Amino acid sequence: MNIAFNPSPFITKAKVIETTKEVAAFFKRATNEDVIAVDVESAAFYRYYAKVNLIQIATRKEAAIMDPQAISDFTPFQDFAAKSKCMWLFHGGDFDISMLAKDLQIFIPRMFDTRKAAELIGMTELGLRALTEKYLGFTLDKHLQRCDWSKRPLTTAMIEYGLLDAVCLIPVYDCLLHEVNEFGRLEWVMEECDSIAKQAREAQIQEPDPYAFHIKGSSYLSLRSLAVLREVWKLRESIAATVDRAPFMLLSNQSLLEIARLCPRSIAGLNTIKGMNHEFLARYGTDIQKAIRAGLDAELVGLERPIQKHSKEELLNAWEGELAKAIKEVRDKVAARENIPPSVLAPSHALYSLAKLRPQTLGELTQSEILHDWQARLLADEVIPLLEQEPPKLSKRARRRGRSSRRRL
């Protein structure tokens, strides 16, 4: 199925929404819409704090850009999302809906992810650009993909670029929905999309990693150099948070490693560090020196990441390992038959959980929540016979022989 689609009328009539009143008016007009397409832009590449910097939104009748940097109250959006019965459309929506939930407390109840749908009908080119070429006959321009979306005022190019993704989602969805239904896989898609939306609603704030200063290349440093690295890294993080800039833009990781390795005690020494940002050095050189001294004086504790200890429940014994391999072979065969990626049918961690817990009926398999229902039903006939096998038991004679062998050793 293909659609002759011209996005120009949507782009030329689109508005930039900058007030809560305008947000409320948009959703009042959208009350009876069957679908609403959303795309989110963030300047996380440039900024310390990842947040929603732009929301592009479209219905079948109009498109708009909502500016979170101008709008202080998103209550109309929150209320509409909570009560709406429409289908919310995203492409690769994991990040977008999690950002809407975390940053603006907007919780999407029901979504359709066009990327996930394309994956589940066996497509290999999954980008939105590839989908618009396939279904709509034109190519999306992605030259602003790494744009700093926190900059204001928005340029005409930024507005058009942002709007196109949202506007194109609706006709792409119509085409994909037709194909997904032809494959008989709408239930699969909706299970996956429900899981994405649920994870965004239930996401917990993660504790900061105390070993985040272990940047690539730090494994070759001595403990003393690691102590210096930790202090200089903490300084860079603090400054980046204060000025809301990406840390690597202030001082590169390579420069951090050089400082930790050489421990220069003077501004002149710091000035010789490869890749040093000299503007940063001019402003914070004294602070860097203090951080180096703090690292040189610090106790050499809490520097090495502890070796992760696995509980007995997490580890597979030899028999369970072989069982996991057998399940993987079945998984790969079924995935090839259905023309979907093996990891989509059952990720690796699910194979290990199946081998450890061994659910032995379809009911137990679905109740375990190791797999989604559609995955469990696809695999059950061939996986359950494997899971029903009992692990071998050593005879008393074999166990005695094993003990006597250990004594001789």
Using the predicted structure, report yes or no on whether residue 398 has a pLDDT greater than 50: no
The SS3 call for residue 350 is helix
Whole-number pLDDT of residue 392:
81
Nearest CA to 247 out of 44, 95, 99 is that of 44
The mean pLDDT value for 321-335 works out to 96
Using the predicted structure, report yes or no on whether residue 312 has a pLDDT greater than 50: no
Question: CA-CA distance, 257 to 233, in Å (whole number)?
Answer: 10
Question: CA-CA distance, 114 to 179, in Å (whole number)?
Answer: 12
pTM of the predicted model, to two decimals?
0.87
Mean pLDDT of the chain: 91
pLDDT tens per residue across span 3-14: 788 899 999 999
Whole-number pLDDT of residue 30:
97
The mean pLDDT value for 359-385 works out to 94
Q: Which residues contact 27 (CB under 8 A, 6 or more apart)?
A: 76, 77, 80
Whole-number pLDDT of residue 1:
75
Quote the Cα angle for 77-108-32, to 5°: 60
Whole-number pLDDT of residue 94:
94
Q: What number of H helices and E strands is found in the chain?
A: 19, 6
Whole-number pLDDT of residue 395:
47
Whole-number pLDDT of residue 314:
58
Contact indicator for 189, 109 with CB cutoff of 8 Å? no
Whole-number pLDDT of residue 138:
87
The mean pLDDT value for 314-342 works out to 93
Question: CA-CA distance, 41 to 50, in Å (whole number)?
Answer: 10
Using the predicted structure, report yes or no on whether residue 399 has a pLDDT greater than 50: no
Domains of the chain and CATH, by start: 8-202 (3.30.420.10), 218-297 (1.10.150.80), 318-387 (1.10.150.80)
Whole-number pLDDT of residue 309:
56
Locate 18 and state its tokens: 């900058």
pLDDT tens per residue across span 183-198: 999 999 999 999 999 9
Contact indicator for 342, 332 with CB cutoff of 8 Å? yes
| Peptide bond between residue 153 and the one before it cis (omega within 30 degrees of 0) | yes
pLDDT tens per residue across span 223-278: 999 999 999 999 999 999 999 999 999 999 999 999 999 999 899 999 999 889 99
CB count in 10 Å sphere of residue 133? 14
The mean pLDDT value for 387-402 works out to 64
Using the predicted structure, report yes or no on whether residue 145 has a pLDDT greater than 60: yes
Sheet holding 52-58, edge to edge: 15-17, 63-66, 52-58, 35-42, 87-90, 111-113
Using the predicted structure, report yes or no on whether residue 404 has a pLDDT greater than 50: no
Task: State which H helix or E strand residue 143 sits in.
Answer: none
Whole-number pLDDT of residue 316:
87
Whole-number pLDDT of residue 408:
39
Using the predicted structure, report yes or no on whether residue 397 has a pLDDT greater than 60: no
Question: CA-CA distance, 360 to 369, in Å (whole number)?
Answer: 14
The mean pLDDT value for 116-131 works out to 95
pLDDT tens per residue across span 194-226: 999 999 988 877 788 999 999 999 999 999 999
pLDDT tens per residue across span 5-43: 889 999 999 999 999 999 999 999 999 999 999 999 999
Using the predicted structure, report yes or no on whether residue 402 has a pLDDT greater than 60: no
Contact indicator for 35, 86 with CB cutoff of 8 Å? yes
